[in-house]
A = this chain, B = another copy of it.
Amino acid sequence: VLSPRERVGQRSETVRRANLSAIVRELHLLGPQSRSELGRRTGLTRSAIRGLIGDLVSGGLVEERPSAPAGTPGRPSSLVCPRADQAVVVGLEVNVDSLALATVGLGGTIHRLERVDRPRAHVTLDAIVSDLVDLGGPTVGRLRRDGTLVGVGVAVAGIVRRDDGVVRHAPNLGWRDVPLGGRLAASLGLDAPVDVANEADLGGLAEHRRGAAVGVDDVVYVSGEVGVGGNVIMAGQPLVGAAGYAAEIGHMSVRPDGGVCGCGSTGCWETEIGERAMLARAGLPVDGGRDAVARLMIEAVAGEPQARAALEHVATWLGTGAASLVNIFNPRLVVLGGIFERIHPLVGSTIDAALRQRALPPSRDQVRVVPGRLGVDAPILGAAELAFEPLLADPAARLRGLHAVPASA
């Protein structure tokens, strides 16, 4: 996110950096494209594109490949391709039930994606960091030796201070003010900070860049897990707030005289639509986790009345809260993630009906509610995207660092 400070007066010498950033970002988000497409998208002249691509090729971040097989008639043209092997990030995830690792290359190529279960219980920072180092340490070490590591991003089921990666509050992990970013960076032997963010924020980021909301500038993402979270993209930029705590939409009061929430308040949206509330209504163990949710889905598909009623209840309240968010944000798209992505095929019409009943007509007529496309992997893919941000914002810095690395063909 550009801060207002960064938008003001520009010296000419900063222009090259901004232009390199624009090109690398386009290639990362949209994939291989011709020079002329890049020119159209960035507004840069042909000669500017030529020079900048040259720098990026020498620096090993991109390569040019023929766009048509040899032997095809006509003048050969070429595609500018991001080099997924030469700029790689590691995403990590600390979820209530699992840990995950992803390695992703420039352009969004997923090299590896691995998830391991963990018991749903409070846990110390030491234990989590140790598990994360077991899971990701060897990969991080190898990428560093190869000179291809761009960064490490972490998704966590808690409220995170973006500046320093401190987890301010994570009730399901039993954490308050836990310095996850700093400790993990030290344990992985990294000089640079590890970027940490809330899992729902990152899930929304991933759906915006790689999933159901690609190309849509104004998006509300609502993710259902044990906690209900979300992210909001406005004019193409994620909502961050003063310290990165924004988009805690699960703690919107929808029924102030309602049930007690994990956050200490009452009647938060989460108390009506969170995983525990849904399982309780279905008569299933509230902490049954994935197995219980799987059983609920099977029962609901089979038409079992209590399971259907539980889903209908959640759907009505999901649409009610979504209407508030549509009135507040005027988005083009509401993307449902986590358990809401899974129940959407069964109760999408109930969600829509509640939304239509409560949202203001001008905003209501512009919005669609759709399920996410990335499933449980949205947060870890978002963690990888987070780790790419410094490179996308300033590829010039990396080009300087890479001058010593031979650009292999």
Contact = CB atoms under 8 A, between A and B. Distances in A.
Interface of A: 1-4, 7-12, 15, 18-19, 22-23, 25-26, 41-45, 48, 159, 161, 168-169, 217-218, 232, 234-237, 239-249, 251-256, 263, 265, 320-321, 323-324, 327-332, 357-363, 366-367
Nearest to A239: B234
11 contacts: A4-B217, A8-B26, A9-B43, A12-B12, A12-B15, A161-B362, A232-B328, A242-B366, A246-B330, A255-B255, A328-B328
Nearest to A158: B362
Contacts of A253: 254, 320-321, 323-324, 358
Contacts of A263: 360
Given A22-B9, A323-B253, A328-B328, A245 B15 contact: no
Nearest to A272: B256
Number of copies: 2
Nearest to A317: B256
A382 B230 CA distance: 31
A45 B11 contact: yes
B256 A254 contact: yes
A246 B328 contact: yes
Contacts of A12: 12, 15
A330 B248 CA distance: 9
Interface centre among A22, A247, A252 (most CB of B within 10 A): A252
A240 B234 contact: yes
B43 A8 contact: yes
Contacts of A332: 242
Nearest to A41: B8
Interface centre among A23, A237, A327 (most CB of B within 10 A): A327
Given A168-B361, A242-B331, 8 more contacts: A3-B217, A9-B22, A9-B44, A10-B10, A161-B362, A168-B362, A169-B361, A265-B358
Contacts of A169: 360-362
B248 A240 contact: no
A328 B252 contact: yes
A265 B19 contact: no
A323 B252 CA distance: 8
A168 B367 CA distance: 16
A362 B236 contact: no
Contacts of A362: 159, 161, 168-169, 243, 245
Contact of A241 (B8, B236, B237, B363): B363
A359 B324 CA distance: 17
Contacts of A246: 234, 328-330, 363
A265 B331 CA distance: 19
A241 B330 contact: yes
Contacts of A255: 255-256
Nearest to A9: B42
A43 B249 contact: no
B3 A10 contact: no
5 A-B pairs with the lowest CB-CB distances in the bound complex, closest first? A241-B330, A9-B42, A4-B236, A9-B22, A245-B330
A9 B3 contact: no
Given A10-B43, A239-B234, A159 B252 contact: no
A44 B12 CA distance: 9
A354 to B, nearest CB: 9
A23 B2 CA distance: 18
B252 A44 contact: no
Contacts of A218: 241-242
A405 to B, nearest CB: 26
A358 B3 CA distance: 29
A261 to B, nearest CB: 9
Given A10-B19, A11-B44, A15-B15, A328 B248 contact: yes
